[in-house]
Amino acid sequence: MEKNKQNQIIIYVQLEYLDGPIFKDILPANKGKPAEKGPFGGIKLITGVPVIDRDPEVARLEREVESLYSGCFSENSHEQPLYFDKGYASSIKGKLSLLVSELLERLKAINDGSFIIVNRAEDDMKEF
């Protein structure tokens, strides 16, 4: 994960199809246990920040945002391999914005000083 000059991990919150809103790029150390499956059947990635990776409220909000946002997409539709339905996205924008705000507030509440939050989701939502 990327760090700033103060050696804090930078946590990006953004909207991604079939991937939670918190960017993750670290393989977990499972010490002999089978790896947890991610959204594509591969290994579920983590942030490397234990207070984020282990928080059940963060996990719940991530699942809700991911499910709602991913519903904006259709595979092999409208003569495109991946079609983004701006009309549907516009109709869920309020709820999506509320969930992202709740996630950001939760991240702020559990922040132990080891990370900073960069909100890219707000810019993502401006597109619809």
CA distance 21 to 13: 5
Q: Which residue has the tokens 């519903």?
A: 71
pLDDT in the model for residue 40: 46
pLDDT in the model for residue 128: 87
pLDDT in the model for residue 29: 66
CB proximity list for 23: less than 8 A, separation 6 or greater? 11, 12, 13, 14, 16, 47
pTM exceeding the 0.75 threshold for the entire prediction: yes
What percent of the chain is modeled with pLDDT above 90?
Answer: 76
pLDDT in the model for residue 30: 58
Residues of the chain with pLDDT under 70: 29-44
The sign of the CA dihedral 31, 36, 42, 48 is negative
pLDDT in the model for residue 45: 76
Domain ranges of the chain: 9-125
Q: What is the pLDDT of residues 33-63, one digit of tens each?
A: 555 555 444 556 789 899 999 999 999 999 9
pLDDT in the model for residue 1: 80
CA distance 119 to 44: 22
